[in-house]
Chain A
């Protein structure tokens, strides 16, 4: 349940990281694009600059050519209009040189070239003037003119050469710049492509993550919905209602069932304290208010019980519990649960009443039992004493039938005595936890045998027994158990056959207990008392443990029908089980199971 929520929290962090990464990538991309555009525009500028230099150089060369061809035209035709370009070209040279100087001020190589060019151009113009002066004197054949003319052509050539050199240099510069920028720009499409792929990947990841989150949220929502429905159902079934009190805002929220508990339609009145208190039993209002005050301060308080009165007059018992919850923003809320415990209270009262009645009747019964048996003893004992006096003193005076009657009275009264003794024993066989002590069962068995020594001797009975471990029992009761089982075997022995009683001990797993489906304990001490007596029909196996149930006529056997009931009571007191198996041919077997603690 917590894992997906943790996952969402983790994925929120993941999404934040992704968002940061995307932002970073976009910024980097922007930077890179800016850099490329800048590079491109610089390269365009370079080209333009180059052209301008070219144009300036071309213009200078053509001005030079114009001047030269004008000079030649004038020399041939003596038409001074041919010299017009000369006037223009001088200033054109200057302008072109100035332009060039301006354009190449960042290029020291070209500056040097321009300086050289300027000297050459000046020299050329000088020679030009000289040849022009010589030509005006019409001295074309003078060696002076011819030398000047040649020199003029040479300087002209050297100027042209210089211009060509400069053009070539400028081309070199341009191609170098182009090479660099094209190198730089060639990586751009690849980079853009990679970044695009990366962005798509990130987008895909984000999409997957969000879909996953949405799916989890949907599942959570469905779970919440189910949970809400089950809460509503449990509220109705277990008769409780929930409420929330936003302490600072003093706003209450009551669940539908809380209204139903008050006997009202859901959300039929404003959920607030005053409205609620109008239902509370007047005697309990103060108590409830005190508790509400305490609730605001203590985080955890015990349950509070109070009563409410529904509009139809029915009084209901409520039990409420609330817990203070402070959320991460410091808002205090009280989450409460109120349950209608009217039925429980009524049941509890009924049970309490019945318990008291039971306790009283139990007490009465046991004191009746005890007093009856005890008080019956006294007159009976006296009857027996008087009988013995009568026998002692007056026996000779009695007729034979009188003596017989005395015998009958004697046997009746001794039977009554055993009944009373056994009943007393039965009523005293109670369970008390203090009476349990670690006891040696072998000793308890020996004590029981000792008590029966006389009858054992008379009947020449043979008793064999396994060694038994010590266990925590009520010693006198276990002794009584042995006593009753042994005397039972001795009593119901076969005529003319000495009783043989075998006591065996073993451990039994709870699952192997006969007729017991569920047991609190795992293992049981198992004590078996087997005899070779008259046995009994297996159909009475259950009946023989019931008080006053006898299988034989009292003339045949002297049983009171209490002995085995006492055995059962003793075994019950020890949380054990006793079973009997009878066979009219072989005898009876009593098995006692005592829990191994």
Chain B
């Protein structure tokens, strides 16, 4: 186990959702660094800038302006320097065909944004628990979707 703080990156254009996420993180007993970007272009710029420190994990919304989450995953997974970063999709919808496609192109997990705040906390905690023991975990299709 590493003693350095886990570095999380959230890419979501919805400010409310960003707030909920931030608040949930704050209420959870985990010490993490959370950076937030609000669209896909911003995300890719951040990842590709030379002096930036790469995050341990990306939470990615799908429906974003300028560059969608799906496009971002494809770019990240096809890049030599970024493809190792685990990506967890964090989206409002749950369309089985989209979920399948995301699994195929290499997303680690899929989370449908919960309505209850308590549930938001639960799913984030589940993810953090995984990363507490392993920084580059794997997943199967069966456990691809994380539910509260």
Residues on A lying within 8 angstroms of B by beta carbon are 374, 377-378, 380-382, 384-386, 388-389, 392, 417, 424, 428, 476
Q: Is B92 an interface residue (CB 8 A)?
A: yes
- B92→A385 contact, CB < 8 A: no
With A378-B14, A385-B20, A385-B120 in contact, is A428–B95 under 8 Å at CB?
A: yes
Taking CB atoms, residues of chain B closer than 8 Å to A374 are: 92-93
Q: Which of A388, A417, A428 contacts B117 (CB 8 A)?
A: A388
Q: Which of B17, B95, B114, B117 contacts A389 (CB 8 A)?
A: B117
Interface residues of B in 99-148 (CB under 8 A from A): 113-118, 120
Closest-by-CB residue of B relative to A393 is B117
- B17→A382 contact, CB < 8 A: yes
Docked pose: A389 CA to B117 CA in angstroms: 6
Docked pose: A392 CA to B20 CA in angstroms: 13
Q: How far is the CB of B123 from chain A (nearest CB, A)?
A: 13
- A385→B14 contact, CB < 8 A: no
Docked pose: A476 CA to B17 CA in angstroms: 31
Q: How far is the CB of A421 from chain B (nearest CB, A)?
A: 9
- A382→B95 contact, CB < 8 A: no
With A378-B14, A382-B17, A385-B20 in contact, is A476–B96 under 8 Å at CB?
A: yes
Docked pose: A428 CA to B95 CA in angstroms: 9
Taking CB atoms, residues of chain A closer than 8 Å to B117 are: 385, 388-389, 392
- B115→A417 contact, CB < 8 A: yes
Taking CB atoms, residues of chain A closer than 8 Å to B114 are: 381, 385
- B113→A381 contact, CB < 8 A: yes
- A381→B115 contact, CB < 8 A: yes
Docked pose: A381 CA to B120 CA in angstroms: 11
Closest-by-CB residue of A relative to B93 is A374
Q: How far is the CB of A385 from chain B (nearest CB, A)?
A: 5
Q: Which of A378, A385, A424, A476 contacts B116 (CB 8 A)?
A: A385
- The total of Cβ contacts below 8 Å across the A-B interface reads 37
Tell which of A380, A382, A476 has the most Cβ of chain B within 10 Å: A382
Q: Which of B14, B93, B95, B116 contacts A384 (CB 8 A)?
A: B116
Q: Is B50 an interface residue (CB 8 A)?
A: no
Taking CB atoms, residues of chain B closer than 8 Å to A428 are: 95-96
Q: Which of A384, A392, A424, A476 contacts B115 (CB 8 A)?
A: A384
- In the complex, given contacts A385-B114, A388-B117, what are 14 additional A-B residue pairs having Cβ atoms less than 8 angstroms apart? A377-B92, A382-B17, A384-B115, A384-B116, A385-B20, A385-B116, A388-B115, A388-B116, A389-B20, A392-B117, A392-B118, A424-B93, A428-B95, A428-B96
Docked pose: A386 CA to B116 CA in angstroms: 8
What are 24 of the A-B contact pairs (CB < 8 Å)?
A374-B92, A374-B93, A377-B93, A378-B14, A378-B92, A380-B115, A381-B92, A381-B113, A381-B114, A381-B115, A382-B14, A382-B16, A382-B17, A384-B115, A384-B116, A385-B116, A385-B117, A385-B120, A389-B117, A392-B117, A392-B118, A417-B115, A428-B95, A476-B96
Docked pose: A26 CA to B93 CA in angstroms: 108
Taking CB atoms, residues of chain A closer than 8 Å to B20 are: 385, 389
Q: How far is the CB of B46 from chain A (nearest CB, A)?
A: 24
- A388→B16 contact, CB < 8 A: no
Taking CB atoms, residues of chain A closer than 8 Å to B14 are: 378, 382
Docked pose: A374 CA to B96 CA in angstroms: 13
Q: How far is the CB of A435 from chain B (nearest CB, A)?
A: 10
Against A, the Cβ 8 Å flags (1 = close, 0 = not) of B83-97 are: 000000000110110
Docked pose: A157 CA to B82 CA in angstroms: 170
Interface residues of B in 6-28 (CB under 8 A from A): 14, 16-17, 20
Taking CB atoms, residues of chain A closer than 8 Å to B17 are: 382
- B95→A385 contact, CB < 8 A: no
Interface residues of B in 67-86 (CB under 8 A from A): none
Q: How far is the CB of A303 from chain B (nearest CB, A)?
A: 43
Q: How far is the CB of A400 from chain B (nearest CB, A)?
A: 23
Q: How far is the CB of A475 from chain B (nearest CB, A)?
A: 11
Docked pose: A62 CA to B17 CA in angstroms: 174
Docked pose: A386 CA to B19 CA in angstroms: 11
Q: Which of A380, A381, A382, A388 contacts B118 (CB 8 A)?
A: A388
Taking CB atoms, residues of chain B closer than 8 Å to A389 are: 20, 117
Taking CB atoms, residues of chain B closer than 8 Å to A388 are: 115-118
Q: How far is the CB of A371 from chain B (nearest CB, A)?
A: 10
Q: How far is the CB of B87 from chain A (nearest CB, A)?
A: 21
Closest-by-CB residue of A relative to B16 is A382
Closest-by-CB residue of B relative to A381 is B115
Taking CB atoms, residues of chain A closer than 8 Å to B115 are: 380-381, 384-385, 388, 417
Docked pose: A176 CA to B115 CA in angstroms: 146
Taking CB atoms, residues of chain B closer than 8 Å to A382 are: 14, 16-17
Q: How far is the CB of A436 from chain B (nearest CB, A)?
A: 16
Taking CB atoms, residues of chain A closer than 8 Å to B113 are: 381
For the complex of A and B, the 6 pairs showing the least CB-CB separation, nearest first, are A384-B115, A388-B117, A388-B116, A381-B115, A378-B92, A374-B93
Docked pose: A158 CA to B92 CA in angstroms: 166
Taking CB atoms, residues of chain B closer than 8 Å to A476 are: 96
Closest-by-CB residue of B relative to A373 is B93
